Chains A and B, each alone.
Chain A
Amino acid sequence: MSAGQAVFSGWMEIADKAMHEEARRRAEEAIVEALVSEYAGTLYRVAYSVLRNAADAEDAVQEAFVRVLRHRDTLAEVRDQRVWLIRIVWNVVLDRKRRMKTRPETDDVAELARVLPATGLSAEERVAAAQHHAHVLACVEKLPAKERQVLMLSAFEELNSVEIAEVLGITESSVRSRLFRARNLMAGLLDHPRSLP
């Protein structure tokens, strides 16, 4: 084989490899795009339930998908993409929540009055409903972290106890017991708001 042929064959081999890598990368990006189309809404709701701010929740969703893009090589190994994505966004929002300062209840009232559906309600009723929801959320914030997390995730109809356990990395029985404790504590908090520090 002459030097020219060797160079040509080397060129072709590298070009084939590069084309293959490019095709694989494009396929992975297409998978990520499909995941965005399918689960962006779900992830947004999960993020909003913790952060309670539309802009922060959207940022969290974007950050979660950027993380997915960074680890797109492992997409083929993921068993349940929905739970996997919720787990990623859950970790993102918990990180953000830790870094954020505690929001005052008045901010929550204004935000909830803006975003919650209020069909058939007058302006006064709408404000009253927002105040009630803000008060409930303030009580949720007073719960211990483990119970609070389970309670918040249990509100999502698309998650059963097995999936909540998978998101939180605990057993299903732990999910059940924590949910039971959370409901008891919430009932006490709503009756006697100062029963927990």
Chain B
Amino acid sequence: MNSPNQKTLVGSSAEFENTLRLIARLSPPEGLEERVQARLRAKADMAPGKTRILRWPEAQWIQNLARAAAAAAIVAVVVGGGWGVLSRFQPSQPSNAITVPPHGGGQGGFSSAGAMRTPQTLNGPVVAHPATATPEADKAAIKKPVRHGKPTAAKKAVAQSVVPSAK
């Protein structure tokens, strides 16, 4: 193991190498093997799977059955829940007609007593006309438009008769 170069150092290194060799030759303590064996046995006993020497064959198909039952239960819960939700909240068809619930269908309820529902309508516009005496007067009123210019002589006469003189 020693190379020629190293052999030159053997003399000087013998002193410290003796110490290392002394330690390397130490005898192990009494009962070391037994203690190690005992600890290994304890470890082996604690190892998982050690106690399962025989596995009952029933256990396998019981396990499979339990798995299948659990899977079926999960499927039932999921499908049943979905069905319940769908049956309660069905999507409504879009339509313009408003469905009116029937009135008093069941026994013991209130009936409409034959009353008919009438829709409320808006009142039309009301025009106030002055009462006219005769159609002729109307025609004259139409034919003689009001003039805002100089008063005529007749109008003047009428006005003078109405207004008393200041004199």
Contact = CB atoms under 8 A, between A and B. Distances in A.
Interface of A: 7-8, 10-11, 14-15, 18-19, 22, 29, 32-33, 36-37, 40-41, 44-45, 48-49, 52, 54, 58, 61-62, 65-66, 69, 115-117, 132-133, 136-137, 139-140, 151-152, 154-157, 160-161, 176, 179-180, 183-184, 186-187, 190
Nearest to B15: A190
On chain B, which size bracket covers the interface?
35 or more
B3 to A, nearest CB: 6
B44 A69 contact: yes
Given A19-B53, A41-B28, A65-B40, 20 more contacts: A10-B57, A11-B57, A14-B54, A18-B52, A45-B23, A48-B23, A58-B29, A65-B36, A65-B39, A66-B40, A69-B44, A132-B19, A140-B16, A140-B20, A156-B24, A161-B1, A183-B12, A184-B9, A187-B12, A190-B15
A7 B32 contact: no
Contact of A14 (B19, B36, B57): B57
B3 A180 contact: yes
Given A15-B54, A48-B26, A180-B9, A33 B16 contact: no
Q: Is the interface of A mostly helix, strand, loop or mixed?
A: helix
B152 interface: no
B43 A69 contact: yes
Contacts of B55: 14-15, 18
B44 to A, nearest CB: 6
A66 to B, nearest CB: 6
B5 interface: yes
